[in-house]
Structure 1
Amino acid sequence: MTTIAIPQGMPQYDGVPRFDVEKVRADFPILGREVNGYPMVYLDSGNTSQKPRQVIDAMREHIERHNGNVARSVHQVGTEATEAYEGARAKVAQFISASTPDEIVFTKNATEAINVVAYAFSNAAPGSRFALKPGDEIVISEMEHHSNIVPWQLLCERTGAKLRWFSVTDAGRLDLSSLEELVNERTKIVSYALVSNVLGTINPVSAITARAREVGAFVMLDASQAVPHMPVDVTDLGVDFIAFTGHKMCGPTGIGVLWGRHELLAEMPPVLGGGSMIETVSMERSTFAPPPARFEAGTPPITEAVGLGAAVDYLTALDMRAVQWHEKELTAYALDALATVPGLRLFGPNVPVGRGGTLSFALDGVHPHDVGQILDSVGVEVRVGHHCARPICQRYGVPAMTRASFYLYTTVEEVDALVRGLEQVRKVFD
């Protein structure tokens, strides 16, 4: 198997480990390329992160040397594939401090993970604590990604439940002033982003979870923008489910994670039927395997799981505290730098406290698509559009936004390149 080699001996400051960002960047082959004749400045990690050599090599070696199907063969290659797949599950469980690897369900992305929970609610037998009926309520927030809006809308259509949501303040924070009214005895599940993919806001957990517990509601977090960027401990969070995706945390596309408290997963009905998720099958009826197999019908994303396991190894060796600190310093620098750009309107918190390294903005008089094209012409890669979160664009009265999102390989010099690129945009449109 591939050995994940990470530079060791990282310095520490105030007890927080640090890493050499240039050494880290050397692990990412794509960061050495050019775009339109300029060194590529990749500021779209909130969309998808780049992949280090260690992940690429681990996936290549698995395909070349250990490619077999899992949980259905007694031959050597099949055994090796099963060990690699379940080994990745164990790594993910340890990474987020799950009680057992059996709490980790592999999906193809965070969207599917959220849908698994939503469809389990609609598949639940009457009388089950997962069953919904007319009059029940689901609570989300105005800043959600579409993947944490649409599944709940569809669930409400199927069951007659009602969808409600937290509003967002002008400063980009959740408005909790109506928490007790919004989360009430009719609420069955509260699902919201731990970190906003547009505003960068790190949302509170303890107050919302405490209120949900008072009324007997479940809590789910979309942690897609959290797990890649900061230490996440599901035990400390005290929620019931979280969802995240591999491709935003140095891993491949096609692999995501649903974590759920084991006793809840054991009670939830399956969503997809087929091979591997069954216990017994007859022509009359079937019984189902315990979790996580119950929710992993068919051949799973084996090579992708191996890649995710390698990504977890990489991030663990760097230390997520170091990743978080790097991004916090970078975000503070970027907030000050962007404040110098004339006509720039920042959406979300304008201080580095309680926010991550995702900065969305608009330039007066310039459509975000024009901003993105001009930045691309000088090698600066950002995302433009509504970022699969159209309601938050509507909240702030804009059709779209430009978003720069940072990660562990982003540098201060790249922030400077963004600012220079925005100055070019101003010259074109002034």
Structure 2
Amino acid sequence: MTTQEKITFNVEEIRKQFPALHREVYGKPLIYFDNGATSQKPQIVIDTINRYYTSENANIHRGVHFLSQQATDAYEEARRIVQRFIHAQHEHEVIFTKGTTDGINLVASCFGELLTAGDEVIISGMEHHSNIVPWQMLCERKKLKLKVIPVLDNGELDLEAFEQLLSEATKLVAVTHISNTLGTINPVKWIIDKAHTAGAKVLIDGAQSIQHMPINVQELDCDFYVFSSHKVFGPTGTGVLYGKEAILNEMPPYQGGGDMIAKVTFEKTTYNELPFKFEAGTPHIIGGIATGTALHYLSSLDQEAIHGHETDLLNFTQERLLETEGVRIIGTAREKTSVVSFIVDGIHPFDIGTLLDKQGIAVRTGHHCTQPLMDRFGIPGTVRTSFAFYNTKAEVEVFLKALNRSIGMLR
């Protein structure tokens, strides 16, 4: 499908393509507002998975028989789809992983081997635990120093403080593109440029951005970009690490095993070329193929219309929530995507989430794997609504009525 052949965005028609959206929970129509955790899957992705295991299942890269060649071709075509979707220069810069967490750990392990005692890594105060803990482990192992960009009261990063943190010792900056808790869209291009001026490499956690906005890794000039398939309408257990060719070639491999080798003897092993150097063992084959299906499907839609629809949902929800007594939105950045986290005075988020669930509404409650961020705001957690392009204002209206009903029951 060419870039000109876009499907007109119609939310009701889109919803028909997602079977899970049409089920009931506790006798109520499901309203799924937990897309920040995982997205629902269109029928085309489900069909791809079913077809593969029904008639195409085989291992890849190793067999001369028809099924193996067919599976290999499909898997490598998916890699090319990813390359085009994120605008990587080379397809071998696309490494299939288990997900965002695995991609970050791969970089921490492999790029981390190039660092020495006294080097510094910078992250931000709004990072998911998966973009905190691997760097803590690396810093402890290699005797590095970890620095943290502070978060302002409105949920934006303190960029002046970031500039002060940069130094000749900074070797890597790892930041989220969009906060999974606050919805804040960080100015990652500016951050990348500043980090590069200081001589540092940059990893962007794209788990919450890949599904909401066009990504061009060459324009961003990031050194690494990671995301999970299940956040972008594909299957769980698979994801992508993009890395610049020169840096990936410099890094030692993450794991040893089949497919990542060129030649093995008991005296010495030489490693395979990219991307296989970082893809040891039999991969999640259908995970990669279905990721390609999901991204091909998403690219067929009008991205500007999707962005406008999700922005309308965000603004509508925030405006209506602020009309509710006792509600405080956590994260009021000037640039946000369709995530609204809030608390209600005197009521624990878990209690609200439980009552909403009984009314058929799926939201996330808790610290959202961002405990340091919760500590920054002095709260135990939030109620988080996170939207996808298949959500509607009508669903938001039902949610708001259910929220007010829940608040009334808990007071």
Q: TM-score range by the shorter chain?
A: over 0.9
Aligned match for 1:305, one of 280, 288, 291: 288
Task: Tell me the equivalent position of 1:417.
Answer: 398
Instruction: Name the CA distance, whole Å, in 2 between partners of 1:214 and 1:90.
Output: 31
| Rounded Cα–Cα distance in structure 1 between residues aligned with 2:84 and 2:305 | 18
Rounded Cα–Cα distance in structure 2 between residues aligned with 1:280 and 1:47: 41
Count of aligned pairs between the two proteins: 408
Q: In the alignment, what sits opposite 1:128?
A: none
Counterpart contact for 2:352–2:407, Cα < 8 Å: no
1:372 paired with 2:362, answer no
Could you say which residue in structure 2 is the equivalent of 1:104? 94
Alpha-carbon shift at residue 21 of structure 1 (Å): 0.3
What are the within-5 Å matches in structure 2 for residues 110-259 of structure 1? Answer: 110-122=100-112, 124=113, 131-259=114-242
Q: Is the 8 A contact 2:7 2:302 kept in 1?
A: no
The reply on whether 1:68 has 2:49 as its aligned counterpart is: no
* Letter of the 1:75 counterpart: H
Letter of the structure 1 residue corresponding to residue 358 of structure 2 = S
* 2:86 and 2:217 in contact (8 A); partners too: yes
Deviation string, structure 1 residues 51-81 (Cα, Å, up to 9, x no partner):
0000000111111121110000010000000
Point out 4+ residue stretches in structure 1 off by more than 3 angstroms. none
Where 2:175 maps in the other structure, the secondary structure is strand
Tell me the distance in 1 between the aligned counterparts of 2:34 and 2:395.
12
Displacement, 1:429?
2.1
Q: Distance in 1 between matches of 2:103 and 2:393?
A: 35
SS of 1:64's equivalent? Answer: helix
- Contact 1:341/1:422 (<8 A) preserved: no
Contact conserved, 1:231 with 1:320, CA < 8 A, in 2? yes
Q: Which runs of 5+ in 2 are unaligned?
A: none
| Structure 1 position 229, deviation (Å) | 1.0
Q: Secondary structure at the match of 1:318?
A: coil
Shift of 1:246: 0.2
Measure the CA separation in 1 of the matches of 2:6 and 2:104. Answer: 37
Give the Cα–Cα distance (whole angstroms) in 2 for the partners of residues 248 and 222 of structure 1: 12
Q: Do the aligned residues in 2 keep the contact of 1:110 with 1:224 (CA within 8 Å)?
A: yes
1:383 shift after superposition? 0.5
Distance across 2 between alignment mates of 1:37 and 1:100: 50
What is the RMSD computed on CA atoms of the aligned residues?
A: 1.3
Matches within 5 A, 1:6-45: 10=8, 19-45=9-35
Superposition TM-score, scaled by structure 1 size: 0.93
User: How far 1:8 sits from its partner (Å)?
Assistant: 5.9
TM-score (ref. length: structure 2): 0.97
1:355 counterpart (317, 328, 336): 336
How big is the shift at 1:398? 0.6
Aligned equivalents of 2:52, 2:368: Cα separation in 1: 34
Match for residue 401 of structure 1 among 346, 369, 382: 382
Q: Do 2:59 and 2:71's aligned partners in 1 also have CA atoms closer than 8 Å? A: yes
1:320 CA drift (Å): 2.7
Superposed counterparts of 1:318-333, under 5 Å: 318-333=301-316
Q: 1:109 to 1:9 in 2, by over 3 A?
A: closer
2:160 alignment partner, SS class: coil
Asked if 2 retains the 8 angstrom alpha-carbon contact of 1:140 and 1:149, the reply is yes
Structure 1: gaps of 5 or more residues: 11-18, 125-130
Which of 269, 272, 277 does residue 294 from structure 1 map onto?
Answer: 277
CA distance in 1, matches of 2:320, 2:10: 22
Q: What SS class does the counterpart of residue 178 from structure 1 fall into?
A: helix
Q: Per-residue CA shift, 1:62-103, capped at 9, x if unaligned?
A: 111211100000100000000010011000110011111111
Counterpart Cα distance in 1 of 2:369 and 2:269: 38
- Which residue of 1 is the match for residue 37 of structure 2? 47
State the SS of the aligned residue for 2:389.
Answer: coil
Deviation at 1:291, TM superposition (A): 1.4
